[in-house]
Amino acid sequence: MRRSDMAGPRRTARPVKETLLSVKAGIRIHPTAIIEAGVEIGAGTAVWDGVHVRGPARIGTQCIIGEKTYIAYGVSVGNCVKINASVYVCTGVTIADHVMIAAGVIFANDRYPRAFTDGMDGLAESGPTADTLATTVHEGATIGAGATIGAGIEVGAFAMVGMGAVVVKDVPAHGLVYGNPGRLRGFVCVCGHPLRGLPQVVQNGRSGSCSRCDRMYSVIEHGAAAYPFFTGVRDVRKPLRPR
Ligand SMILES: CC(C)(COP(=O)(O)OP(=O)(O)OC[C@H]1O[C@@H](n2cnc3c(N)ncnc32)[C@H](O)[C@@H]1OP(=O)(O)O)[C@@H](O)C(=O)NCCC(=O)NCCS
Ligand SMILES: [Zn+2]
């Protein structure tokens, strides 16, 4: 046996890069992660320690899956998605490109769950049933730390869900939602910062601009929802509202 094959203190002396993640086809997976058969992972994605991904599931390119996160079977994660530590992603959830899910977020997929099936012995079916509701987090949205996302929810594109929110209703595109129950409190820009001039009740004809960058928005109505629609970049040489 070569000395380098022996377990012992010499192993800990290996460079951090080698010991933390094994790299295969541009995908970095921590040795303690459990990736089941049928899981597809795109190039450039990193999966950290203690992560468990049930198969089949799909994780896109250039994602980060933070430590101790659980991803159930059937879940689809887009490209360039950042999932922080200890996130619970259940069956029925679809996460689009450029989404951020902060630490400790929990998704739920059954509104009236039971451990048993009424009138039958043993445990209820663990796989999806008629009660399993689909949730989608659309492109560019952020879910803040410790938030809980209820069953069958649509979180609109570029929406922002605050820390600890309990989301029980759909969030419109660019919507800012926080509290328990989560309520619409305003709107945010693509960059994540609040839009001035657009409080939570938006009507056609209103417009607003970002509190941080120069993007401008007008409100459009789509079915029951109204939300800001990017209209262009403010000319920074001119004041926002003519005096
Ligand atoms: C929701 C959020 C975007 C609001 O930011 P904001 O618009 O700057 O809000 P403010 O800090 O000005 O607070 C406005 C009011 O909402 C309250 N508030 C802010 N965030 C809240 C939250 N998550 N839940 C409940 N109330 C909240 C404030 O107490 C304040 O109340 P008041 O007017 O009665 O004093 C932000 O607080 C948040 O939760 N961001 C997510 C952070 C996160 O999870 N990061 C994880 C990666 S590090
Ligand atoms: Zn902005």
pLDDT at 201: 59
Predicted confidence (pLDDT) per residue in 214-224, tens digit: 899 988 887 77
Q: Atom 43 of ligand 1 has which residue's CA nearest to it? A: 144
On the question of pLDDT at 199 being above 90, the answer is no
pLDDT over 70 for what percent of the chain?
84
User: At CB < 8 A and 24+ separation, what contacts does 198-205 make?
Assistant: 198/228, 202/226, 202/227, 202/228
CATH class of 19-113+130-196: mainly beta
Residue 195 Cα to ligand 2 middle (Å): 8
The band of 114, judged by pLDDT with boundaries at 50, 70 and 90, is very high
Predicted confidence (pLDDT) per residue in 164-176, tens digit: 999 999 999 999 9
Cβ atoms of 112 and 129 closer than 8 Å: no
pLDDT at 219: 86
Ligand nearest to the CA of 187: 1
Which ligand 1 atom is the nearest neighbour of the CA of 145? 44
Instruction: Average the pLDDT over 187-207 and give the result.
Output: 81
Ligand nearest to the CA of 233: 2
Backbone φ and ψ for 179, nearest 5 degrees, come out as 95, 175
Residue 54 Cα to ligand 1 middle (Å): 34
pLDDT at 216: 93
Q: Atom 8 of ligand 1 has which residue's CA nearest to it? A: 194
Residues 6+ away with beta carbon under 8 Å from 75: 54, 57, 58, 89, 90, 91, 92, 93, 94, 95
Residue 110 Cα to ligand 2 middle (Å): 35
> Both tokens of residue 31?
């040795």
pLDDT at 89: 98
Give the three-class secondary structure for 12. Answer: helix
pLDDT at 200: 61
- Under DSSP, the state recorded for 26 is T
The band of 1, judged by pLDDT with boundaries at 50, 70 and 90, is very low
Which ligand 1 atom is the nearest neighbour of the CA of 164? 23
Output the CA–CA distances (angstroms, integers) from residue 58 to 53, 107, 140, in the order listed: 9, 17, 18
Q: In whole angstroms, what is the distance from residue 192 CA to residue 9 CA? A: 46
The band of 126, judged by pLDDT with boundaries at 50, 70 and 90, is confident
On the question of pLDDT at 99 being above 60, the answer is yes
Residue 162 Cα to ligand 1 middle (Å): 6
The band of 236, judged by pLDDT with boundaries at 50, 70 and 90, is low
Burial 66-93 (b: 16+ CB within 10 A, else e): bbbbbbbbbbbbbbbbebbbbbbbbbbb
Selection from 164, 145, 143 nearest residue 155 by Cα: 143
Residue 212 Cα to ligand 2 middle (Å): 5
- E strand segments, 115-168: 135-137, 142-143, 148-149, 154-155, 160-161, 166-167
How many other CB atoms are found less than 10 A from the CB of residue 31? Answer: 9
CA dihedral over 236, 157, 146, 224, signed as positive or negative: positive
Summary mean pLDDT of the chain: 87
The band of 206, judged by pLDDT with boundaries at 50, 70 and 90, is confident
Which ligand 1 atom is the nearest neighbour of the CA of 100? 47
Residue 56 Cα to ligand 1 middle (Å): 36
Ligand nearest to the CA of 160: 1
Ligand 1 site residues, Cβ closer than 6 angstroms: 102, 144-145, 160, 162-164, 178-179, 194
**Most informative mutation of 64, 167, 178 for ligand 1 (most atoms within 8 A of CB):** 178
Predicted confidence (pLDDT) per residue in 129-165, tens digit: 888 999 999 999 999 999 999 999 999 999 999 999 9
Q: Atom 14 of ligand 1 has which residue's CA nearest to it? A: 185
